[in-house]
Amino acid sequence: MPQLRLALNQIDSTVGDIARNAEAIVRWTRHSADQGAHLVAFPEMALTGYPVEDLALRSSFVEASRTALTDLAARLAGEGLGELPVIVGYLDRSETAQPKYGQPAGAPQDAAAVLHRGEVVLTFAKHHLPNYGVFDEFRYFVPGDTMPVVRLHGIDVALAICEDLWQDGGRVPAARTAKAGLLLSINASPYEREKDDTRLELVRKRAQEAGCTTAYIAMMGGQDELVFDGDSIVVGPDGEVIARAPQFVEGCVVLDLDLPAAQPDAPEGVVDDGLRIDRLVLSEEPLPPYEPELTGGYADRLEDDEEIYSALVTGLRAYVTKNGFRSVLIGLSGGIDSALVAAIACDAVGAENVYGVSMPSKYSSGHSRDDAAELARRTGLHFRTVPIEPMFAAYMDALGLTGLAEENLQSRLRGTLLMAISNQEGHIVLAPGNKSELAVGYSTLYGDSVGAYGPIKDVYKTSIFQLARWRNRAAAERGQTPPIPENSITKPPSAELRPGQVDTDSLPDYPVLDAILDLYVDRDQGADAIVAAGFDRDLVVKTLRMVDTAEYKRRQYPPGTKISAKGFGKDRRLPITNRWREHA
């Protein structure tokens, strides 16, 4: 059988930074060439970053992408890499009108190209466009209508882009009809909990349907709320895994493959789903036989808590570095949420770039102050204490607040203090709210909700405890100091805004609350269905009412790393003004 050495580069691109993305593509192509690769692939929209959102609607950005692609092809040839075919994702525009979609010629496309000998020798666009969850691709793009097949060293390689594998039909059965020896899909598939298992089974299924070895090259890194975990996969036609890349690691998977020879009777014309075969012949003759050196490998999978924690670190690091920030600022209460955020921040940007502030009031317990200081000692982050009591007393003398207004004033004073330090010293503030609190509105606008980024906003409280324990255990196993004080994990959660306050004064126990929220928020179950699952009706009605009436608060919360299938934001879009009640 003919042979091919394939290089899959799961790199981290930045949206809009076309020049630096192109530089990375050149650098990793050179690395691939040094490894003896015969075909090199990069992720979906690697040249522009992903997702580009409304940048796709700016003709100037589309043209910049197209120009950069042409320049990239020329540069690769100029640096002696022109003989090596490179597949790269970019933003393009259609050349013909698409009456079915009401789009004129020039409409944007999520596209990819084959670069060879200094030229763009083949282009194609994503056929299946996702329009669910965080994806709005019908808003931006028109679909491609070709089945691209590249003949390289006597092997037919069919090409696809991300959603082309996730939806039935289209390029997967078309690859079988085209008698391809390899199906190569470039992807920018955002991370979600347990998605790696779903993704593996998908690729195995599609390889069997396509009847050929299938390679799935994925993006790595972070973009605003999205995280990309890499996890590139190569699967044989029988569904057996040949190679799997590490998660949350930028790098190159190089693999020697034995693949079927191109068939002399390979079809032309229109095939499955109305796709027209667009065949490019680069080389008919197989390579001289060589002894395979790189026959596969399976990177160790991360356990569930480590995987989620790695996603949170990756998301925060990307947000800080890609936006040009230098350091982060956290209000340290001594509680579990701010402690976990601090640990994530230290792992993401280094403890030397993390600043913590304890802001005790007259209601703050001694152990909370001690726990905040102990966290700083363990992690090495910068730490100071600024009591808010004098400010609080001044407000109270002027306004005479009572009850909830008095409690929330303390939180808002802390928020103002954090933003003042941020302005003065240039740190960005991290908001410590978790998904349980955001769901039920257990946060104070312009208080604990202030900040530029919320690292744990998509993590339920029960998972917060699990992640904290995992991080401490992982540190101990490495012979390091566990970053989070044990007391922060074991003491009852409390906002400490009044004497003896604990969270369960206002909320159900977190395991019960999170189970209800999972059904309502993540799975869109109604009140009757949740009660049928075994929960008390009065508790369900109360919880759902809190969720529904807190929508206006969530809209004002900063962005944060998405780790679930339905995070607050693009995934879950409900009107603020809304009289519909599941619990009526």
437 has binding-site annotation: yes
Asked if residues 368 and 335 have their Cβ atoms less than 8 Å apart, the reply is yes
Length, in residues, of the chain: 584
Which residue has 């580009």 as its token pair? Answer: 52
Residues serving a catalytic function are 44, 126, 162
332 has binding-site annotation: yes
94 has binding-site annotation: no
195 has binding-site annotation: yes
CA 551 to chain centre: 23
Retrieve residue 206's tokens. 């599609």
Retrieve residue 436's tokens. 């349980």
CA diameter of the chain: 89
57 has binding-site annotation: no
Asked if residues 66 and 92 have their Cβ atoms less than 8 Å apart, the reply is yes
Complete edge-to-edge strand list for the sheet that includes strand 328-331? 382-385, 354-358, 328-331, 428-429
331 has binding-site annotation: yes
- Backbone φ and ψ for 228, nearest 5 degrees, come out as -120, 130
60 has binding-site annotation: no
The rounded distance, in Å, linking the Cα atoms of 530 and 528 is 5
333 has binding-site annotation: yes
Residues whose CB is less than 8 angstroms from the CB of residue 404 and which lie 6 or more positions away in sequence, other chains included: none
Could you give the angle at the alpha carbon of 272 between the alpha carbons of 271 and 275, nearest 5°?
65
Retrieve residue 100's tokens. 């079915």
358 has binding-site annotation: no
189 has binding-site annotation: yes
3-class secondary structure per residue, 347-358: HHHCHHHEEEEE
Bridge-based pairing state of the strands 354-358 and 382-385: parallel
Q: Measured between alpha carbons, how far is residue 178 from residues 150, 274, 429 in Å?
A: 11, 13, 54
CA 202 to chain centre: 19
144 has binding-site annotation: no
Retrieve residue 534's tokens. 């075994």
Burial of 212: CB neighbours in 10 Å, binned 0-12, 13-18, 19+ = buried
Q: Where are the alpha helices (DSSP H) in 261-402?
A: 304-322, 336-349, 366-379, 389-399
End-to-end CA, the chain: 67
Residues whose CB is less than 8 angstroms from the CB of residue 82 and which lie 6 or more positions away in sequence, other chains included: 76, 116, 117, 118
451 has binding-site annotation: no
Count of Cβ atoms closer than 10 Å to residue 534 Cβ: 7
Retrieve residue 375's tokens. 């966290």
Question: Which secondary structure element, helix H or strand E, spans residue 268, and what is its range?
Answer: none
- Backbone φ and ψ for 275, nearest 5 degrees, come out as -80, 135
CA 119 to chain centre: 32
- SS3 breakdown of the chain: % helix, strand, coil, rounded to 5? 40, 20, 40
408 has binding-site annotation: yes
Binding-site residues for ATP sit at 331-338
Annotated binding-site residue numbers for L-glutamine: 132, 189, 195
Annotated binding site: 132, 189, 195, 331-338, 408, 437, 553
